Amino acid sequence: MEIYQQVFENNKKWVASKLAQDANFFEKLAKDQRPDFLYIGCADSRVPANEIMGLEPGEVFVHRNIANLVVNTDLNVQSVLNYAVVHLGVKHIIVCGHYGCGGVKAAMQPKDFGILNPWLRNIRDVYRLHQTELDDISDIDQRYNRLVELNVLEQCINVVKLAAVQKRYYKEGAPTVHGWVYDLHNGLLKDLNLDMDAEVKRISKIYDLHEE
């Protein structure tokens, strides 16, 4: 059997296993979705959102792109964020990076990546914002890991720049924004424990869209 056909066999087995647990599994899911989480992660095939969080279908709204970027002019991620915050009413927004990220590594190279250049430039901008800290790390692997973390921090900051996020946050104190990093070597998620309240305070003079 070709690998392509195997996927359909896998699907049938998955359907059967779900129905064995709950005969109404799909009927219930088809009615509505009310996920508590929005997950923004890397497109990397080794970081499957639902699986690493142990969440079932219907429990997490997912957006993935190269290096988990929240680009202010990317209509795709901006639409996902607005829909999740305004219509789904998610309680938590997670930006999840991962060590060993190819996108972050590429952005550390003095190399022309063609059509990828404008996307990767967002990561180069993160490097520039934190250049003093990063240049002080002599070990290249440690510097790479730190850029992965700082990229997550800056994407979390991009999330709180959205008017829809600010509006709900000032009204109900939610959603809360979390920065995580996944480790490919051991499968563990690390919470960066970002102090997003402090970050919001720090940038509010510039980015606040909330009218009193």
Q: Give the binding range for Co ion (CB under 5 A) out of 2-10, 96-104, 117-125, 126-134.
A: 96-104
Q: Would residue 112 show up in a list of annotated catalytic residues for this protein?
A: no
101 lines the binding site for Co ion (CB under 5 A)? yes
Nearer Cβ to Co ion (127/169): 127
- In whole angstroms, the minimum distance from the beta carbon of 160 to Co ion comes to 22
- For the record, the structure tokens of 81 come out as 């964020």
Q: Which part of the chain contacts Co ion (CB under 5 A), choosing from 36-44, 127-135, 153-161, 176-184? A: 36-44
Rounded CA-CA distance 153/159 in Å is 10
144 CB-side CA count, 13 A = 15
Cα 94 to its chain centre, rounded Å, is 6
Instruction: Please identify which of the residues 42, 63, 156, 178 carries the catalytic annotation.
Output: 42
Nearer to Co ion, 77 or 165 (CB): 77
35, 38, 40, 42: which one binds Co ion (CB under 5 A) = 42
Closest contact distance (angstroms) between CB of 20 and Co ion is: 35
Span near Co ion by CB under 5 A; candidates 93-101, 141-149, 181-189, 198-206: 93-101
Alpha-helix runs per DSSP H in 47-195? 49-53, 75-82, 102-107, 117-129, 131-135, 140-160, 163-172
Question: Total number of residues binding Co ion (CB under 5 A)?
Answer: 3
**Residue 126 binds Co ion (CB under 5 A):** no
* Total residues belonging to the chain: 212
**Considering beta carbons, is residue 44 or 149 the nearer one to Co ion?**
44
Q: Closest by alpha carbon to 97, among 70, 129, 133?
A: 70
Residue with tokens 């000032």: 170
Residues 6+ apart with CB under 8 A from 34: 58, 88, 89
Which DSSP state fits 136?
T
Residues in the site for Co ion, rule: CB under 5 A? 42, 44, 101
Catalytic residue positions, numbered: 42, 44, 46, 98, 101
